[in-house]
Amino acid sequence: MNYAFQFADVLGAWPLLLRGTWTTVQLSLLATLLGLSVAIACAWGKTSGPKPLRWVIQVYIELIRNTPFLVQLFFLFFALPAVGLRWSPYTAALTAMVINLGAYATEIIRAGIESIPKGQIEAGLALSLKSHQIFRLIILKPALRAIFPALTSQFILLMLSSAVVSVISADDLTSVAANLQSQTFRSFEIYIVVTLIYLSLALSFSALFRLIQARALSYPDRR
């Protein structure tokens, strides 16, 4: 192997790489927060809602879990403009990520909710707790504590899958890397750097979620 590594062009483009990294982080964090909200609402609807609502949620879950994320992204960005709904690349990417995460996380949260013993819910009713207090304190928080590792893995997978949004010209890290490659032709060096950045992001997200688990979920709510 007679290859001379040249990282000067890649490292010289650090402002572009930093901007792409920030876009990836921003997309991932927003999609995580919004997707988790969608998942909690859908999990509640699927376990406690009326039958028509449960049917709609199940259709949504099956549709998203049984189609490729890339197809979902293309549908939002390329197909919907045909009926007058146009998105920016960033908005389409974020919406697709939220919809995708919402479907996968709904089933994870639903499993957590259904693992809560009925006796605990009955105890909450006996204490005259309101329905939202029972859901938040007796059902949701213990369920999240039990399923948090699975949710964490899903969130990190979402962040890594965000590389797909580069195909619609969203200015994420992978898109910036592709542009740099076309300008410098230093594919090996560029993707070594990008791989290390994604690895650092994944480890950072893992550390953040461990901190959240330790601070927010490990102790009982005393209120």
Closest CA to 99 of 72, 71, 66: 72
Evaluate if residue 130 carries a pLDDT over 80.
no
- Output 47 or 72, whichever has higher pLDDT: 72
Output the CATH code of domain 8-217. Answer: 1.10.3720.10
Q: Could you report the per-residue pLDDT of 85-112, keeping only the tens digit for each?
A: 889 999 999 999 999 999 999 999 888 8
Going 197 to 202 to 204 to 205, the CA torsion angle's sign is positive
Evaluate if residue 29 carries a pLDDT over 50.
yes
Evaluate if residue 222 carries a pLDDT over 60.
no
Q: Calculate the alpha carbon distances from 102 to 76, 91, 185 in Å.
A: 16, 16, 38
> Which residue ranges make up each domain of the chain?
8-217
Q: Where residue 220 falls among pLDDT bands split at 50, 70, 90?
A: low
**pLDDT at 96 (0 to 100):** 95
